[in-house]
Structure 1
Amino acid sequence: MKHKTFILILILLVSFHFGTLKTSAATATISVTPSSTRVLVGSTITVTVKVSSAAPLGGWNFDVSHSSNLKMTYSSFQNSLYVADVATSTNQKSKSYTFKFTAKSSGTASIAIRNSYVLGYDEKQMTVTNGSRTISIITQAQLEASYSKNNNLSTLSISGASLSPEFNKDTLEYTAELDPDTTKANVSAEVEDKKASVTGVGEIEVTDGVNRHEVKVTAENGSVKTYVINVIVKEYNPIEVKIGDETYTIVRKKSLLEAPRYYKETTITLRDEEIPAFTNDITKFTLVGLKDDEGNIDYYIYNEDKYTPYMELSFDRVVFYPMEEESKGVSDKYKKATVTYDGKQIDAYKIEAGSRFALIYGMNLETGKKDYYLYDTEENTLQYYNSEEIDLLNETNNKYFIIIIILATVSLISVISSIVLLVIMIKKKKQNKGYKMDDLLEATQRIKTKKRS
């Protein structure tokens, strides 16, 4: 203990320039290691300051200096930037301290060791190498501006086929043909910039016809480039149908189809081949799957070689098939409109174009009942539209309206009558005043006549 006290006193004496000691050949280093050399404004930087030597240490002191765009928020040594400490063992050769700083503003920041003094355990002064580090402080905008924009692929391929056209990083769409009955393929791709990421690689499942597959490359700055491979699995004698200007292919594999709710599996015969289909005893519909030129499969109603698009609206308690219907039995206040459900446009009726509620005509697939239903476009709910209650309410409102009109008419007649009666009374009163004036004049004349005689 006396030995350590002596070392500490010696350090303090040197710090205040009360004397100097003879320098020995032993060396020490005070290093500065930040958690990052590039940080955002407002971030916290953790800095480790380490005193080390090949020879046993005795005691040391130093200042941690920093630039004005840093603010010290923590120090493991008495929460101070000044450190004065001694070894805790005879063979201690290093000691570390932790400091935390907040980055106040953008620019270059610095942290350095100043005014250092180190004694070996042999009480001889060591030659000290003071460490320092610079830190780049940037704003979020500066950080994002520095991100790479490269979202190119350097290679793209698919197993078992060649791409057409040949791969070029600037060409975004390709075609590849696979043998019939192929169910899986492997897509490989490499990014041009290692900081970019890619999705859509590895093993993919494919079916007969066109399979649209996307490979997306995301650059460091978040920009995305999409490469498309139209993987065509050849079919033996494909069955094609034309609807309008579009050509579709009949789906012949049952594994690619899932039975819609309330429908059961069946088959139909096309070109002497059994085709998977689905039927419903209530709707009497027969559904088949058609694939478009992008590989999308949708159900169509099949009826004597005619195909009509089939759509279901699935709600909590209702599976609904929208149908076309003139606005019979609907109030004149409703005007024809459209609503969007699952990305598809559906004919409807609204009181106002921006109204939340709409009337949709169609069939409840569970009951087979066809009628109008009220669709809530915000809550995505559907309920039966009770037109009888609406009609009854309208009838009641009309009755009340008629009563109000009658009462208003009676009130108006009463007011007019009162005005007419008042006018008549005023006229009579004026006439009476006239008669009295004539009598007075006549009496006055008689008196004058008597006086003269």
Structure 2
Amino acid sequence: MKLLRKITLFSIGIIFCFGLVISVKAAAFSMSASTKTVSPNGTFVVTLSGNVTGNIFINVENERASESQIWIENNSVSVTITAGSSGNVKVTAIPGEGLSDPQGNAVPDTSGTTVSVTIQQPTSSNPSRPSTPSSSNTTPVKTFNLNLSAIQVEGASLTPDFSGDTVDYSVELPKGTTSVTISASAADSEVSVQGIGTHEVHEGNNVIELTTHHPETSTTKTYRIQVYVEEEPKVFLKYKDTELGVYPSFHGSETLEGFENTEVTIQDQQVLGKVNEQGLILLYMVEESGEKAFYVYKDEVLYKYLPVTIAGRTFISLEIPDDMKNMTGLIQQKIMIHDVEYDGWVFEDDSFSNYSLLYLMNEKGDIHLYQYESTEGVIQLYSGAAALRQESVDALRDEMNMMKIALIAVSVIAVIILGAGVGFYFYKKKMSGSH
């Protein structure tokens, strides 16, 4: 029994040790953490690597990540994770739909991968009881300051601002940048710094590491700088009087609920886009000034993506075309609905003061005029006819009755005239025959 108990404990110990490994590899890509432990509310980095192309979603239990989704393209991409106050931080990477290998084939293994880092609480000391000198001849343990005192990136600023205790930073560089020069200095003059100098960089994400080391210890400390080089769009589309480029990634974009990443063929090229369940396609576009935003792509035409909720339904607010600004019986003006202004129309007839028209796109991408009734808060497709109240229905009924009476009178007169004409014809024929 004792032997059996020892074997059982030994097996549990082996399983526990394997559970502490912080680098987990899936068939599609691998993920590793920069540390096994992190201080409360501290930060660490997870790095994803693999010869795959596509979108990967980052899910964090017990606090947050710097990015909830990243684009990997046969390289390594790093994400900064901020820990909570206690427990463990569990980071899961889940591949998005369409993950492909270098040959463009779909990756068969789309399972996610997870790493876990322990939040280590600082040890507390009791200042009220001074320690007594030890009677042994134990040599005191040396401590070394492996912190950097400064990091400079030529032509760019670090985010966040530098602090010796912060090890993860990001930098953004303009498009066309092929190299970056990084300098750094150690807080301790005897500490060496590796990684300083000029580094080659490419479009998209680049990770540069600076490592400090003291000659009297094997311990090192690593600082990571995620360098993002502005990407160059290769596909351009016309929008109003200008051209916008389809941005090659979603860097800096907001997270859109209800949309998944997809690929769209434009001008015989594959570009990155987003699509919802109804098939509405969005493209992440960049202006010449560098400003980026999502646009609806429908029938090779762009519409700026401005989602709004009206009467519990989601629409996309559109700019009114010039040929619709002046419509008979309508006045174009701003429409206020729940403290939000929209471009639209009101009816010239004061009887329809509760009604207004809006030019909207629905979640399928269909564009219509919608009629909104303010007292009931109801929105529906506009039929092309003005909304009618009961007074208008009564007036219309009286008008129809008058039209019927007039039509009968005209018919009677027409019959009389026709009869008179026929009688005159036969009378004239009879008179001509008598001669």
TM-score by length of 2: 0.32
With normalisation by structure 1, the TM-score equals 0.31
Greater C-alpha radius of gyration:
1
